[in-house]
A and B are shown apart, each in its own frame.
Chain A
Amino acid sequence: MAEALTRLRPLGPFPPWSAARSGSTLDLGALMRDQLLQRRALWGPLRRLLQSRLAQAIEASQWSRSAELLGMWLHTWPVGAMVDPAVSEWMTCPSVESLATLARASELACAALGWPTVPGLPWPDPPAEWLRTQLAEQGVPLVGRGEGDGRQRLIDALGLTLERDEGWPDELLAVESIPGEALISRRAELARRLVRGELGAVQLTSPIPPSPLAALAIGELRMEGRHQRAFEAWGPAGLRVEGFVTLAELLGAAPPGEPGPVLIPTGDCLLAPGTPASLRRGQPETVGWLLWEAPFRPVPVHPLAVEVLRALDGVATAPQLCATLELSEDQLQPVLDALVSVGAATAA
């Protein structure tokens, strides 16, 4: 029987790197991380929800949103493959790659569930209903984690009271918050503190003025601050990693398959209502996509390639496939060669 709760941790800084439950402490952020940022969710209900939202957006001619949702739906394949190792890495030995993966997984989960994200960041801002569902017990004292930990959401939604604030974890360097218009005048001082390691990052609380001097100033801070770009993209969690990387940079091409007389697919394929670019133009069309449950980029193909790939069963030879698909060998062979070269099929 689980120990009674005596302490509740807030949602932020998200994603936390502790366990969701430790003795009588419940970490709501970690609980949310474990529920949303996981392979099973991304490959299961979240993928289905994204597909459904994509169909709705296309039906409503919301083309920009459709393009975004298609990209997200397709990303459930690689991100689902990467997310569990990324969570493990994030909890033990954080890297910019693991945080970039979790950020994209969070965007996919929020879009699927229809949850907003924390303003300016990719992390979920769950509805009050979700918060209430997680906490059966009443009146558990809340122990804050410092500014930006989302405590007010809990106080408002669950009627909790803040027992104390322990501040940000010691391992996170300090952040200086300044308005954008102060950037130029404080540039030298802030850069010096970043270089000396006295600051982890500079938080701009308002937009920077559109001027060359401001661009040069933020350029210097991003160059000198090891955590600056990560902080801007991912919030306080970015203070645990150095540099910045996008998920697109983490995805590679699938390795080519082995040619052979009989082929099998090495990944998934599907027909989608376009590419993100065609949807953005408001021109849906049937496009095949090759997908892998691995950190590989989705590949758009002619719908015929999907038809061929679906017919590969590890038994049928090229002549048999020609008969089944009603294609000539001249039509089939280039498709088979292309599927092998992009790593979608390999010798059985």
Chain B
Amino acid sequence: MSRLTILGLGPARPEQMTLEAREALAQAVASGARAYGLAHARALVEAVEPRLVIHELDYLYRLPGVDRPVAYRDLATMLVRRAFEDQVEVLYLVAGSPLFINDAVLQIRRLCQQRQLPLRLIHGMSFVELVLQGVYWTGHRGLQLLSAWNVARDGMELQTDRPALLCQLGEFSVGGEALATDGSVGVLVELRDRLASSYPLDHPVAVLASSGHPDYLPQTRQIPLSALADEPVPVYSNLWVPAIGGPAVESEVASG
């Protein structure tokens, strides 16, 4: 029977993976499902289900002349075709939660809805839980969650009276999954200048990163907005922008 499953692997450490996700991975090995994923997802699965063969989707980020929206749309179409036209059991592995900032997942869900195709969604813990450990978010003024890319380059406006979490801060290399960080500075300049049109240059912001494999400990660096582009940030970094005139505690950073 053909089936398409989107499986959220959680943000980082294997122990953050849900029981449902682990069982689905084991089941995929047993059933011979065809699994697909990017490098980070593969690294996570390797730790818990090394027998699962995962087809590498990284090529989508390296195709000449193919921008990300086109690549995500193609990926969605391809996985739906594989599952329901080719009659292959497909498992699409994504890091974090499938429902957070994942255009391909969104398009798969819409395609399946439009064609009335069955889709199984296995939730995963999102990166937001980890990231918020680095600050004191009260929730009293809500939270704006945006891609730093969209703010820097696509004209997305922040409301300055509410805190904002800008994700994908370090993902500005060609490959998306690449570990090189030096490409981030150029976009950080754009982001800084964009934010400076609404926030004072001494507005405190915090770069929220991770120590990476294997512990993925939160790392927080508070800086004035003016210093945002002074050095590269790691891949999978986020930027915390407290509200102007918001709760004072939201301008502090937390150590743990």
Contacts and interface: CB of A to CB of B under 8 A. Distances in A.
A222 B58 CA distance: 12
B120 interface: no
A191 B34 CA distance: 13
A219 B34 CA distance: 17
Contacts of A210: 65
B66 A223 contact: no
Contacts, number: 38
Interface residues of A, number: 15
B63 A220 contact: no
A177 B115 CA distance: 33
A220 B82 CA distance: 11
A223 B59 contact: yes
Given A188-B81, A188-B85, A212 B70 contact: yes
A192 B86 contact: yes
Interface in A190-249: 191-192, 195-196, 210-212, 215-216, 219-220, 222-224
Interface in A236-267: none
A216 B56 contact: no
B82 A223 contact: no
Contact of A219 (B60, B82, B86, B88): B60
B71 A216 contact: yes
B55 interface: yes
Contacts of A211: 65
Nearest to A220: B78
The A interface is mostly helix, strand or loop, or mixed, namely helix
B65 A215 contact: yes
Nearest to A224: B55
A206 to B, nearest CB: 18
B64 interface: yes
B179 interface: no
Nearest to B86: A192
Contacts of B70: 212, 216
Interface string B58-97: 0110011110001100100010011001101000000000
B64 A215 contact: yes
B34 A216 contact: no
Nearest to A222: B59
Interface in A33-78: none
Interface residues of B, number: 19
Given A188-B85, A195-B34, A195-B86, A219 B59 contact: yes
Contacts of A219: 59-60, 63
B196 interface: no
B92 to A, nearest CB: 13
B57 interface: yes
B65 A212 contact: yes
Contacts of B57: 223
Given A223-B55, A223-B56, A216 B86 contact: no
Given A195-B88, A224-B55, A212 B63 contact: yes
A215 B63 contact: yes
Residue from the set A216, A220, A222 with the largest chain B CB neighbour count within 10 Å: A216
A215 B74 CA distance: 11
Contacts of B88: 195
A55 to B, nearest CB: 38
A216 B55 contact: no
B74 A195 contact: no
A35 B32 CA distance: 44
A254 to B, nearest CB: 25
Residue from the set A192, A196, A215 with the largest chain B CB neighbour count within 10 Å: A215
Given A223-B56, A224-B55, A216 B85 contact: no
B45 to A, nearest CB: 17
A195 B87 CA distance: 11
A195 B220 CA distance: 45
Given A223-B56, A224-B55, A215 B66 contact: yes
Nearest to B82: A195
A96 to B, nearest CB: 15
A127 to B, nearest CB: 38
A348 B105 CA distance: 61
Residue from the set B34, B56, B65 with the largest chain A CB neighbour count within 10 Å: B65
Interface of A: 188, 191-192, 195-196, 210-212, 215-216, 219-220, 222-224
Interface of B: 34, 55-57, 59-60, 63-66, 70-71, 74, 78, 81-82, 85-86, 88
29 contacts: A191-B78, A191-B82, A192-B85, A192-B86, A195-B34, A195-B82, A195-B86, A195-B88, A196-B86, A210-B65, A211-B65, A212-B63, A212-B66, A212-B70, A215-B63, A215-B65, A215-B66, A216-B60, A216-B63, A216-B66, A216-B70, A216-B71, A216-B74, A219-B63, A223-B55, A223-B56, A223-B57, A223-B59, A224-B55
Given A210-B65, A223-B59, 10 more contacts: A191-B82, A192-B85, A192-B86, A195-B82, A195-B88, A212-B63, A212-B65, A215-B66, A216-B63, A219-B63
Question: Ordered nearest first, which 3 A-B pairs have the shortest CB separation?
Answer: A215-B63, A212-B66, A219-B59
